[in-house]
Structure 1
Amino acid sequence: MSKLMPLADVFASALAIDAAQISDNLHYQGIPQWDSVAHMQLIAALEDSYDVMLDTDDIIDLSSFSKAREILAKYGVQPQ
């Protein structure tokens, strides 16, 4: 079994932000870099990192770090 990349690292890389900024309170409205293009980069990074294919409703609903955990759990993924 391969070790999953920590979710905070996926967010930091996709959104080009410092990992220190990432907490369960991170929401797209609080990060100016989290625009529509960055959102799709984040979706692609999540799908690649955790080998899932998010459905459209989940892509639209993904609006925070904690929501990403919730969505990934639906796909059987429990990232760090």
Structure 2
Amino acid sequence: MHWHDKLRQVFRDALDLGADAEVDGLAYRAVPAWDSVGHMRLVAALESEFDVMLDTDEVIDLSCFDKACEILSRHLDG
């Protein structure tokens, strides 16, 4: 499984979305579950699943799925 697919599943699980929910265009506050508490739940899930530690700027910049891909690519591909 490519890490992008794993990332999609992390978004679905952390934000309590359906198993087939489309997350590629998802942005902060686009769904009720992605509020400030959901944001921290998502950050924790990303750090746990990908064994990374996001810094404060990355946590703040994590505003959509595409930004999550960009942030993770720096940790996983770089």
TM over 0.5: yes
What TM-score do the two structures reach when normalised by structure 2?
0.84
- Larger relative contact order (C-alpha < 8 A, sep ≥ 6)? 1
**Contact 1:10 1:46 (C-alpha < 8 Å) held by counterparts:** yes
Aligned 8 A contact 1:22 1:65 in 2: no
- Taking only aligned residues, the RMSD between alpha carbons, in angstroms, comes to 1.8
Give the TM-score, by structure 1 length. Answer: 0.83
CA distance in 1, matches of 2:29, 2:40: 16
2:63 is matched with 63
Q: Which residue of 1 aligns with 2:40?
A: 40
Structure 2: unaligned runs, 5 residues or longer: none
Q: 1:58 to 1:32 in 2, by over 3 A?
A: same
Task: Kindly report which structure 2 residues correspond to 1:15-30, keeping only aligned pairs within 5 A, or say none.
Answer: 15-30=15-30
Q: 8 Å contact 1:8–1:19 — kept in the other structure?
A: no
Question: Is 1:13 matched with 2:13?
Answer: yes
Structure 1 residue ranges without an equivalent (≥5): none
Identity %: 51
Distance 1:44 1:23 in 2: 18
